[in-house]
């Protein structure tokens, strides 16, 4: 009987150990240091992202055609909401320039561990005075080298977003007449 109790206890311990899950790590695209005012007053209207990556879990590329959903590495919100918050954070401040509206359509948001983070976005600036007339439509492709860890990928994505907002601000300061050079 004592022998059966030991096996039952051992079995229970193994079952409980097998049910243990790894802790979830949360990440944000908002940098720890606040962004300096970029001299433009832009209202972020809409951000869209590909459905493959618009989830709370971090998604990374594997090989030429694979995607992996990292079940223990999560964004603080869905990726679309993270991008919306991070970009809104970058466009704080007021300026003498006319207020503009910005719509961002992310074409690709690639995370490749040990290689790079990539942001490929089509964006439109328009007057936010109620007019639907687009002043300027541009495409930005920004790639930053990244280390193998998820933290390093997130930092590379933060740098991409900073460079992206600098490009949008440059276009806004030019009177929304020309697209900035990318890369």
* Domain limits, the chain: 2-173
Q: pTM for the complete prediction?
A: 0.83
Architecture in CATH of 2-173: 3-Layer(aba) Sandwich (3.40)
What is the three-state SS of the chain?
CHHHHHHHHHHHHHHHHHHCCCCCEEECCCCCCCCCCCCCCEEEEEEECCCCCCCCEEEEEECCCEEEEEEEEEECCCHHHHHHHHHHHHCCCCCCCCCEEEEEEEEEEEEECCCEEEEEEEEEEEECCCCCCEEEEEEEEEEEECCCCHHHHHHHHHHHHHHHHHHHHHHHHCCCCCCCCCC
Q: What is the full per-residue pLDDT of the chain (183 aa) written as tens digits?
A: 566 666 666 666 666 556 667 899 999 999 988 766 666 788 899 999 999 999 999 999 999 999 999 999 999 999 999 999 999 988 865 555 557 899 999 999 999 999 999 999 999 998 866 566 678 999 999 999 999 999 999 999 999 999 999 999 999 888 767 888 765
């Amino acid at each position: 009987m004592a022998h059966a109790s030991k096996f039952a206890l051992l079995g229970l311990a193994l079952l409980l150990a097998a049910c243990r899950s790894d802790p979830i790590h949360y990440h944000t695209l908002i940098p720890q240091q606040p962004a300096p005012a970029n001299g433009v007053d832009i209202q972020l209207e809409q951000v869209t992202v590909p459905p493959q990556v618009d989830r709370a879990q971090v998604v990374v590329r594997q090989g030429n055609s694979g995607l992996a959903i990292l079940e223990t590495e999560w964004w603080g919100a869905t990726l679309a909401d993270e991008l919306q918050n991070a970009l809104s954070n970058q466009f704080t401040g007021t300026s003498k320039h006319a207020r503009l509206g910005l719509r961002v359509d992310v074409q690709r948001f690639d995370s490749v561990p040990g290689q790079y983070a990539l942001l490929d976005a089509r964006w439109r600036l328009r007057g936010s005075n109620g007019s639907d007339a687009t002043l300027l439509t541009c495409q930005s492709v920004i790639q930053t080298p990244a280390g193998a860890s998820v933290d390093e990928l997130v930092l590379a994505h933060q740098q991409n977003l900073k460079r992206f907002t600098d490009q949008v601000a440059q276009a806004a300061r030019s009177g929304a007449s020309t697209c900035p050079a990318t890369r």
